[in-house]
Amino acid sequence: MKNFLVHNSETIAQMCEQIGISKIEDLFKQIPQSARMKPLELSDGISELELQKEIKKLAKENKSEFVSFMGGGIYNKFVPACIAQVAGRFEFNTAYTPYQPEISQGTLQVMYEFQTMISRLTGMDITNATVYDGGTACAESILMACRISKKYKACVLNGINPEYKKVIETYAHPQNIEVYFVDEIPQNTDDFACVLVQTPNYYGEIIEPKKSADCLLIVCCDVSTLSILKPPSEYDADIVCGDIQTLGIPMNFGGPSAGFISCKQQYMRQLPGRLCGRTVDKDGNQAFCLTIQTREQHIKREKATSNICSNQALVGLCAALYLSVMGEKGFYQAGYLSAVNAHKLADKLTKIGIKVQNKNFFNEFVIEVRDSSEFLSKLESAQILGGIKLNDKKILVAVTEMITKEDIDNYINAVCA
């Protein structure tokens, strides 16, 4: 390891002499002082014990005891403690997600199990081994539909997550794909490669996607809602996409998360990202391997379905662990509690004169108040994050299984105070 040791003063002096300078700082003469970083002015070093005390003192300044009713794509869901323990094992938690995972049967099996679980939930034939996030999944699904249909127009129903919308626009622009964001799906969709519908949408409303004979149907969904709501396959969806943050992934200030794309079997060769399959080796033992390679690392670039499509294998691992630990009953119970609690809060808000705009929702809804900022500030003083401010009068409120009856009562009491 001697080649990686820090240079000592003697070595530095020899290197400077070799290139004709007296000290390292001479290398940066051309950079004006105004553009240089100021000295950090760090204090003297302290012992580990003193550091622990200082960190605890700083940590007390954090406001971490708030009850959260915020959603909009990232939700406060129950995460079993065993998930972090297993996902953090050295076999999985490498410095970099295995880029050529053929050497790791464990990683490949996790990918395969994840694909199987998501396919069961969505009712679709095949699922990829994650993409970057929900927004990426939507954008990649539109690109996929355009490749299949050879059409370059996409129709997206308004109500989609605003962040997803931005990602779609960013992806579509260099591909010369025209994206139309509409309030209602037009009757004539002959010119469109696809129609994309998010259900429940960003505002919590459950939408009934309708399949058109002349273009593909893409359904974007929160997988956790499929614990109760019917799978997208029952809408005859061609492609299903979404985010998996609600499957055992902490909020982490908004990331990292992961997305997924599922589809009918006839479209699997246009599915972006990695795909893992199960087979047998020469001895007849079960084996896992990457299959139907569609990435530019493995096939000709012009035939690749995506040239940058990050695989979130570790996040996918957490989702697979979550579904395994919760099981069908636990998964259903978490979804059921989220929905029941949300409707309880909505009913109580209605009784005290606050308008709930949603007619049909799962665990998220929009309320209309006199002043959004004042409303949220009143809740914040009671250590409640009351929702996401949409405008001066509207707030998006989300409820999960983490919310108790006491939390709901405190919310109402704070509003009435």
Assign residue 179 the CATH number of its domain: 3.40.640.10
On whether residue 206 sits in a domain, the answer given is: yes
Residues 72 and 135 placed together within one structural domain of the fold: no
| 311 within domain boundaries | yes
Q: Is the peptide bond before 200 cis (omega within 30 degrees of 0)?
A: yes
- Using CA atoms, how far residue 37 sits from 47, 159, 170, 328, in Å, is 28, 44, 33, 55
CATH number at residue 409: 3.90.1150.10
Q: Is residue 48 part of a domain?
A: no
Answer for the pair 396, 204: CB distance below 8 angstroms, yes or no. Answer: yes
d(CA 356, CA 348): 10
Residues 268 and 334 in one domain: no
Q: Output the tens digit of pLDDT for each of the chain's 417 residues.
A: 455 567 888 889 999 999 999 988 898 888 998 888 888 888 888 899 999 999 999 998 887 789 999 999 999 999 999 999 998 887 776 655 555 555 678 888 899 999 999 999 999 999 998 899 999 999 999 999 999 999 999 999 999 999 999 999 999 999 999 999 999 988 889 999 999 999 999 999 999 998 888 899 999 999 999 999 999 999 999 999 999 999 999 998 888 899 999 999 999 989 988 888 999 989 999 988 888 876 655 666 667 776 555 568 889 999 999 999 999 999 999 999 999 999 999 999 999 999 999 999 999 999 999 999 999 999 999 999 999 999 999 999 999 999 999 999 999 999 998
Q: Same domain for 316 and 371?
A: no
Residues 116 and 142 in one domain: yes
pLDDT at 68: 95
Task: Pick the last residue of a domain from 321, 353, 387.
Answer: 321
Say whether both 336 and 226 belong to one domain: no
Give domain status of residue 218, yes or no: yes
307 & 334 share domain: no
What is the domain extent for residue 333? 67-77+327-416
Q: How high is the pLDDT of residue 90? A: 78
What stretches of 160-205 adopt beta strand conformation (E)? 178-182, 194-198
In degrees, rounded to 5, the angle at the alpha carbon of residue 241 between the alpha carbons of residues 236 and 247 is 120
298, 321, 344: which is the final residue of a domain?
A: 321
Does any domain span residue 315? yes
Q: Are residues 398 and 352 in the same domain?
A: yes
The predicted structure's pLDDT at residue 346 = 97
Do 71 and 86 sit in the same domain of this protein?
A: no
Pair (304, 366) in one structural domain = no
Number of compact structural domains in the chain: 2
Structural domain contains residue 15: no
| Within a domain: 361 | yes
What pLDDT, on the 0 to 100 scale, is given for residue 352? 95
pLDDT of residue 1: 43
349 plus 302 within the same structural domain: no
Q: Domain check: are 200 and 290 in the same one?
A: yes
Tokens of 128: 């990829």
The tokens for 1 are 């390891």
pTM listed for this prediction: 0.84
| Cα 337 to the center of its chain, rounded Å | 22
Q: Within a domain: residue 373?
A: yes
The answer, yes or no, to whether the previous bond of 250 is cis (omega within 30 of 0) is no
For 401, half-sphere exposure in the C-beta direction (CA atoms, 13 angstrom radius) is: 18
Which of 118, 89, 83 is CA-nearest to residue 222? 118
Same domain, 287 and 365: no
Alpha carbon distance 222, 235 (integer Å): 15
Tell me which of 321, 337, 370 is where a domain ends: 321
